[in-house]
Structure 1
């Protein structure tokens, strides 16, 4: 009986193979199996996540005092600068300590300015000492250059200078003789005037030649020496005066006294600022609740400010995928509220500590929005497609064609005119539609069965019969 049953199973399998061969080679093949030719190309793997848009900085601006709102100086969606006054309480509704803080601030600022002026005097006195020291060094250097050892020149220069001096001395004698011959003439006589001018020029030339000769010989003139020594003495006197002035003012204001004066200014200003709403940073006012004339209590919201120069999207990635994340990975961002438009982003932060979210361990990830326009607003829900991997020029198989058989991934290849053959494969990078083939007897152009469940079902159905 057992032998007869085995024979029947063998017969059924032979009939199945014949039926498959006939079906695959017959005219109705396209009705039985959908196929697609394998090809090579570029493949990108993405992780899909959702998140909320937030600005780089945001802050609720809260009233610190009870009182009646006076002016509201800002509107919704208005750009403001750090320190700008946005709203204020009426002076008549302020408590006494705030009112007195105004006078205290004026006095504290006056006292601080007075102390700072003394500090400026100390700085100037110290600078004067440095300048005076430099002036003494320059004067000493100039005086020292008049020493003979500082003037070493060749004999030819000295001989030339001596010859110039002798010629100038001779010219001076001739000029003196010429003038003496005409000295008895009236002073307005042109000849006498010309002779006097020639005498003056000759004397200047003789003096200059003598000074040059003395300089080269290391014998400065008495005038040179006297001038240099006078300048040095004057420089030393100025230095002594500068040092006395510095000693007088340098200990005028202790540093702790200056710091205390600044602290008094800061305290008075902080007390006075409680009557105002000030912008804590450059940004945009996205909401204003303050209304002129309203009575408010401490802690009530006045406005909300956001710094949207950079927009970020916070999301969560499961522990299964977190190790695929890297800083700088490109992200495609879309919004349900902005139809048909995609924005570019990148991963800027990856959390190092996971948290349990409804039984799943997730890690925080932050994406910066690199492109933005007025349509993107804080709080919007964003869909993220994070590119975690990419490969180029690889053999790709459609995901629809892949099945798990006995714990291994397989595809079915349709050979020309033959029965579909099962091929075991190993996959690499996967996208939503295709996967990279790392191992398996496949090549570009092979026809892969796209509806393998139909094939498997036919085989199982015939076997059971």
Structure 2
């Protein structure tokens, strides 16, 4: 028989027409009598193309929870088979056996949490940044004005005019007292009038010198040193303003994200160290085994508890290289266990490994089948038989196995017409489903076919299943 299509066994077989067998002649009592003639009907089978293989039951989400420090086990808070939730504490070390770094981490954790809270809720840093920016702006404006002034005379003209007037007045005052002193200069030095006149003249000369120096200074331009100092002060004021502006921009809309992340990182680091005294479930699951008991000494890296998420049960199966191209993600799968052959579970293809491996000289590819939620208790490592549906269900014509005949022209059946006559209908046969054979040919559902049923047991002869 040809098996170029649908060469794998079907997942679903639904008979939409009932095979009717009716006896047309009595059976002979002798083995040498001719074959008895019976009839059957063409029926329709709904079937899917499948790939059958097997694999082992496994779980995708499983974790060996290990200790991250050393100490003495204090309490084990769960039992084997117990359901646990993510974040649940399963096991703990005695507080008096914990290393010093955990105790230090507790203090660090408290400080880091306070720092983050202050960062998120305090308005003082923002207010300080705003005030610093205002002060820096004022200092920058002053430095700019002072540097600008170094490009001109040291003072405005009215200031120079005022200084000149002060110089003239001081000059006149000094001249007046000089003349007064000249009138008493010939007197003894101990003479009070001479001494008073000299003192007043000396003071007037000092004021004159100061007024003249001030005038000359205001009339001149800044020297190189003054300009260099003004330039330096301006650069410094600009840098201070830029820094204040950056800080304001960083804080004006609230705490800086980098500061928040840094503070959170310190909290996380301290929390991780504190958590090392506990075994904490990383996901929802079930306790598979407990490896430590209260009072036992443990070291860093020792396994404490094994948990798994049974909702991620799966089967890893091998598919031949000739079939792997027909497998796609999401293909539905039926699963049975050797230990529970009557229990049928459903699943789907969740992963296809593109790297093949050689098994007994044949290239195979691993496919992962996720098992749908089931109430059946599954054990890791148990053998699972899987049927992967690689096509949509199709209706196929089927005829009784005993209706097919074979001669030099090929396979055929005899269709019985309503008037009792028969006609040959050539067919192409495919796979056998129990006592039916999938065929193609000029047949209709319900057609009556002649069957050949030997009256004695048939011994296989030459020519194959349908040999002439």
Partner of 1:76: 80
Please say if 1:44 is aligned against 2:47: yes
Would you say 1:358 and 2:360 are equivalent positions? yes
CA distance, structure 2, for counterparts of residue 328 and residue 405 of structure 1: 45
User: 2:252 maps to which residue?
Assistant: 250
Map of 2:345 onto structure 1: 343
- What is the rounded CA distance, in whole Å, between the counterparts of 1:413 and 1:373 in structure 2? 50
For the 8 Å contact 1:48–1:383, the answer to whether it is kept is yes
Task: Give structure 1 stretches of 5+ with no counterpart.
Answer: 1-23, 124-245, 461-465
Alpha-carbon distance in 1 for matches of 2:401, 2:357: 32
Which of 375, 384, 400 aligns to 1:373? It is 375
Deviation at 1:373, TM superposition (A): 0.3
What TM-score does the superposition give when structure 1 sets the normalisation length?
0.55
Unaligned runs of 5+ in 2: 1-23, 128-247
Deviations 1:178-211 (A, max 9, x none): xxxxxxxxxxxxxxxxxxxxxxxxxxxxxxxxxx
Higher helix share: 1
1:64-107 deviations in whole A, cap 9, x for unaligned?
Answer: 22222111111112122211111112222222222211111111
Instruction: Identify the residue that residue 239 of structure 2 maps to in structure 1.
Output: none
Tell me what 1:321 maps to: 323
- Residue aligned with 1:363, SS: strand
Residues 119 and 253 in structure 1, CA contact (< 8 A), matched pair in contact too: no
Task: Tell me: CA distance 1:118–1:447, structure 2 relative to 1, closer, same or farther (3 Å).
Answer: farther
Give per-residue Cα distances to partners, 1:424-461, cap 9 Å, x unaligned: 6434576566443124789843235578x95872899x
2:90–2:280 Cα contact (<8 Å) kept:
yes
| 1:105 equivalenced with 2:109 (yes/no) | yes
> What is the CA–CA distance in structure 1 between the aligned matches of 2:249 and 2:26, rounded to whole Å?
114
Partner of 2:304: 302
Q: After superposition, what is the alpha-carbon deviation per residue over 1:389-447, rounded to whole angstroms, capped at 9, x for unaligned?
A: 465553214568879999x974676989xxx9998643457656644312478984323
Q: Distance in 1 between matches of 2:316 and 2:102?
A: 42
TM-score, scaled relative to structure 2: 0.55
Cα distance between partner residues in 2 of 1:68 and 1:440: 81
Q: SS in structure 1 opposite 2:398?
A: strand
Match of 1:264 in 2: 266
Look at both structures and tell me which one has the larger radius of gyration over its CA atoms.
2
Q: CA contact under 8 A between 2:25 and 2:36: conserved in structure 1? A: no
CA contact 1:44–1:429 (8 Å) conserved in 2: no
CA distance in 2 between counterparts of 1:120 and 1:47 reads 70
Indicate if the aligned counterparts of 2:26 and 2:36 stay in contact, CA closer than 8 A.
no
Corresponding residue number in structure 2 for 1:54: 58
Match of residue 5 from structure 1:
none
Of 290, 293, 296 in structure 1, the residue corresponding to residue 295 of structure 2 is 293
Distance 1:385 1:248, change over 3 A: closer
- Render the CA deviation track for 1:263-310: whole Å, top value 9, x for unaligned: 211111111222211111122212212211111222221111112234
3-state SS of paired residue (1:52): strand
Cα pair 1:427 1:439 within 8 Å, conserved = no
- Displacement, 1:61? 0.8
Give the deviation of 1:359 after TM superposition.
Answer: 1.6
Closer/same/farther in 2, CA of residues 405 and 27 from structure 1, 3 Å limit: closer
**Alpha-carbon distance between aligned partners in 1 of 2:326 and 2:250, rounded to the nearest angstrom:** 70
Shift in Å, 1:371: 4.5
- Give 2:100's aligned residue: 96
2:173 is matched with none
Contact 1:315 1:364 in 2 (8 A): yes
